[in-house]
Chain A
Amino acid sequence: MSKFNQAIYEIQNLDTISKEDKWVNHIHPLIKLFLTVYYIGLVVSFQKYDLEGLCGMCIYPIFVFIIGELSWKEAIYRLRIVLPLVCIVGILNPFFDTNSIAEIGGIAISGGVVSMVTLMIKGIFCILAGYLLIATTSIEEICYGLRKIHIPKIMVTQILLIYRYIFLLLWETKRITQAYALRAPGQKGIHIKAWGPLVGQLLLRSMDRAQEVYESMCIRGFQGEFFIRKRNEKVKGEFIYFIAFLIILLICRIYPIFEVIGGFFL
């Protein structure tokens, strides 16, 4: 049952840190959203043997982690869901791609090994970038950003409502499964006989709740239009931040930055 607590804790924690009063948190959500997608796009666009170039992309997460005063521990913890999948897909590469493409200290390194490591690092960078976005931008801000790029209102409203009721439904589901577990000791999950009634009850209750929410909206003048708060915050330097990262990341994408800079000193 701790799964529910874990989920609740994770969302609450992200919600709290994303609303902290830090410079990065105040940057316009669209800038952060765009930079994140841009960064992930650049990362995955690296060729499968281009391990060196890819490593240069670490500067973005490092920089934002420090200025955002974020916890590495939590970010790494998030890797647990996606990384295994990426590893499974990549783990067989060394067996199928045995062409030796490099040699370090006399040991031949096959293309498969390089492409496997590249894939894993890509996975790590992408997840870190996602974490940086949500840890510095609240869901309300993201929704505001989505509205700005003309994502239909119905979608954005959806996301806000889902977010609002996630906590409640998680609690409720937790209670219902706990009540079940108390009367069915020694079972690992929910027995097939209870599948329908247990989830069904929860579903009916959710529908009833939705009905009340709807009534509550109607009473307060809701007529199908959902208004989302305007945002008039502007942070100094956010535009410079944006442009600087656009350029720096592009340079890192083109040149194997580590090697170039290292070359100056050797």
Chain B
Amino acid sequence: MSHIHIDVENLIYAYEKDHQVLKDISFFAEEHDAIGVVGANGAGKSTLLKLLVGLDLNFKGSIRVEEIPLEKETLGKIRERMGYVFQDSEAQLFMTTVEEDVAFAPRNYGLSEGEVEKRVTYALEKVHIEHLRKKPIYKMSGGEKKLASIATILSMTPDIILMDEPSVALDPKNRRNLINILNEFDHLKIIASHDLDFIMDTCNRVILLDGGEIVESGSTDEILKNEELLEMHGLELPLSLYRK
């Protein structure tokens, strides 16, 4: 077993009693995996990701990140290894400039200013936005904000990246760019999206959610090319497959 992995067993989550959002989710992901979590609106994709970073601890079942069980005491340790990119970049970027925002996490982990500086440079280079370093957030385009959001978590040098609907509101060029950047990160990524073309281009495995349950999981090709299966669960074949 490789060092980097997530192990989810019998995960159950309910916002209110009698209304389960996630029902008995189990899966295992390890280094070099790129997992696409797909499903129609309300299938529980975002909830699953939020639980993985411990934004809500009122779940049943177990989540283990690199053998550490996710609970209140281990939150800090686990979050240091995991980066989560929000769908809404405006919430992700709360400082006034890109540089400050990217430096937020390293500073919180008590690194020296010199080390923080290095981390910021590293993260900005990874997503190719060194030139935006001093730019105020309000002046940035949607695509730039998304890249900056990714930089804010890369500065923690995470083992695992979780992304919620990364391709929303990106134009084709920015989308292409984002796909390339994600493919450069080869530890472990989990991407929740209903943009199946995006998943096709970035993931090797897919988990199909419907009504809070895993209805199917397997290789990307296996699932995303199965028109019948997708339609049964409120999805459609990726557009790129129609062209062929």
Instruction: Assess A/B contact in the complex (Cβ within 8 A).
Output: yes
Interface residues of chain A, those whose CB is within 8 Å of chain B, are: 12, 15, 19, 139-140, 160-161, 163-165, 167-168, 209, 212-213, 215-223, 225, 227, 229-230
A164–B94 contact, CB under 8 A?
Answer: yes
Residue B100 is within 8 A (CB to CB) of chain A in the complex? yes
Decide: A164 and B95 in contact? CB cutoff 8 A: yes
Q: B141 CB to closest chain A CB, in angstroms?
A: 14
Inside 8 A of B95's CB, which chain A residues have their CB?
Answer: 160, 164
Q: Which of A161, A167, A215 contacts B138 (CB 8 A)?
A: A167
Known: A163-B96, A223-B108. A212 touches B91 (CB 8 A): yes
Q: Taking CB as reference atom, which chain A residue is nearest B99? A: A229
Does B107 touch A at the CB level, under 8 Å?
Answer: yes
0 or 1 for each of B140-154: is its CB under 8 Å from A? (1 = yes): 000000000000110
B205 to chain A, nearest CB (A): 24
Which residues from chain A contact B83 at a C-beta distance below 8 Å?
Answer: 219
B13, CB-defined interface residue at 8 Å: no
Question: Is B48 an interface position by the 8 A CB rule?
Answer: no
B158 → A minimal CB distance (Å) = 10
| B55 interface hit (Cβ, 8 Å) | yes
A212 near B88 with CB under 8 A, answer yes
B84 within 8 A of A: yes
B156 touches A220 (CB 8 A): yes
Task: Please tell me which one of the listed residues B82, B97, B137 contacts residue A140 in the complex, with CB atoms under 8 A apart.
Answer: B97
| Complex: A216 Cα to B89 Cα, angstroms | 10
Per the bound structure, the CA–CA distance linking A241 and B129 in Å amounts to 37
Contact A222 B108 (CB under 8 A): yes
Per-residue A-contact encoding for B82-123, CB less than 8 Å = 1, 0 else: 111010101110111100100111011100010000000000
Give 24 pairs: A residue, B residue, CB < 8 Å, sorted on A.
A12-B138, A19-B134, A139-B96, A140-B100, A161-B94, A163-B96, A164-B96, A164-B137, A167-B138, A209-B91, A212-B91, A213-B91, A216-B91, A217-B94, A219-B82, A220-B79, A220-B104, A220-B156, A221-B79, A221-B80, A221-B156, A225-B108, A227-B108, A230-B113
A163 contact set on B, CB distance < 8 A? 96
Interface residues of A, dominant DSSP: helix
Contacts of B137 in A (CB 8 A): 164
Minimum distance in angstroms from A154 CB to a CB of chain B: 15
Please tell me if the beta carbons of A221 and B105 are within 8 angstroms of each other in the complex.
yes
Residues of A within 8 A of B53 (CB): 219
Query: 3 nearest interchain CB pairs?
Result: A221-B108, A212-B91, A220-B105
Look across to chain B and name the residue whose beta carbon is closest to the beta carbon of A210. B91
Contact for A218 among B55, B109, B138, CB less than 8 A: B55
Measured in the bound complex, the distance between the Cα atoms of B86 and A67 in whole Å is: 44
Separation of A225 and B107 alpha carbons in the complex (Å): 10
Residue of B nearest to A232 (CB): B113
Chain A residues with Cβ below 8 Å from B55 are 215, 218-219
**Chain A residues with CB under 8 A of B92:** 216
Find residues 29-63 in chain B having any chain A CB closer than 8 Å to their own CB. Answer: 50, 53, 55
Q: Which residue of B lies closest to A229 (CB)?
A: B100
CB-CB under 8 A from B80, the residues of chain A are 221
- State the CA gap A220–B119 with chains docked (Å): 14
Known: A220-B156, A222-B108, A229-B100. 14 other contacts (CB 8 A): A15-B136, A161-B94, A165-B94, A167-B138, A215-B50, A215-B55, A218-B55, A219-B84, A220-B79, A220-B105, A221-B105, A222-B104, A223-B76, A227-B104
Interface centre among B86, B103, B138, B152 (most CB of A within 10 A): B138
What's the Cα separation between A12 and B138 when bound, in Å?
A: 9
Chain B residue contacts of A139, Cβ below 8 A: 96
Closest to A171 in B: B138
With contact pairs A15-B136, A209-B91, A212-B91 given, residues A220 and B108 touching in the complex (Cβ less than 8 Å):
yes
Decide yes or no: A216 and B156 within 8 Å by CB, A221-B108, A227-B107 being known contacts. Answer: no
Which residues of chain B are near A167, meaning CB under 8 Å? Answer: 138
Do B86 and A212 touch across chains, with their CB atoms under 8 A apart?
A: yes
User: In the assembled complex, which residues on chain A have CB atoms less than 8 Å from the CB atom of B103?
Assistant: 229
Q: Cα distance A220–B50 when bound, in Å?
A: 14
Q: How far is the CB of B54 from chain A (nearest CB, A)?
A: 8
Bound-state CA distance A19–B96 (Å) is 13
Q: Are A140 and B96 in contact, CB atoms less than 8 angstroms apart?
A: yes
Residue numbers in A under 8 Å from B138 (CB-CB): 12, 164, 167-168
A217 CA / B92 CA spacing, docked (Å) = 8
When distances are taken between beta carbons in the complex, the residues of chain B under 8 Å from A227 are 104, 107-108
